Amino acid sequence: MGTETYSPTELMICIAARLMKEARTAFIGTGIPMLAASLAKKLYNPDLITIFEFGGIGASLEDLPRAVGEARTFYRAMVATGICDVMETAQRGLIEYGFLGGAQIDPYGNLNTTVIGPYDKPKVRLPGSGGANDVGSLCWRTIAIMKHEKKRFIEKVDFITTPGYLDGPGARERAGLPAGTGPYRVVTDLALLGYDDATKRMMLLATHPGVTVERVLENTGFELIVPKKVAQNEPPSSDELRVLRTEVDPERLYI
């Protein structure tokens, strides 16, 4: 168990990295997913094949990329291709994990990165999908990484940019999405969440050190499933912090 001081971002990176201990392939986005993937490769899973939107497959991640299309995402890669081939790889069912973010998420894991408010006259217009819809539609398991706030965790998103379980069991299949795919985990600055197999609604799996179940519920804008036993995530270990700070992100670009 770690005893060093750490930031909420460092804890989220470590938890996301632990989720990739057994992964074979993972679609990686900018920011925390890059650091988590690099940490996982260095500590837990050296055979992890990272996949970047603009065509880098299996890069070494010896140095932290600044974006999903820059040179480091191709350095010593297994394949240097393009966005169309990467999305086809997902369509063929060859990408196991996909990382996502969003401004809003609902109980079924639907994500909004398009607008806040009405689509025609929004309060805020967001960046849009990019490759997120493809990732959420086609990867076997998706992991969302978000700040845990009531305004973000809401009963109904203003716009479904990326499908989760839509409106419940069987909805993805009825929409024509591959059976067996869908949201897997949500990593926040308060907790680790998953989804109930029967209802496909979000459920609390584990709180972070020092965070109560009540605090998680207070910051969630919908009814969250709380099992009888809620685990607590381990804080970052000394090894995780050392590798993260000295090898993964020594320039402190994200941490």
For the annotated catalytic residues, the residue numbers are 53
Give the integer Cα–Cα distance in Å for 200 and 240. Answer: 32
Residue pair 153/147 in contact (Cβ under 8 Å)? The answer is no
DSSP 8-state assignment for residue 90: H
217 contact partners, CB below 8 Å, separation of at least 6 = 224, 226
CB 197 within 8 A of CB 170: no
Whole-Å CA distances, 124 to 37, 90, 101, 150, 167: 31, 31, 17, 17, 25
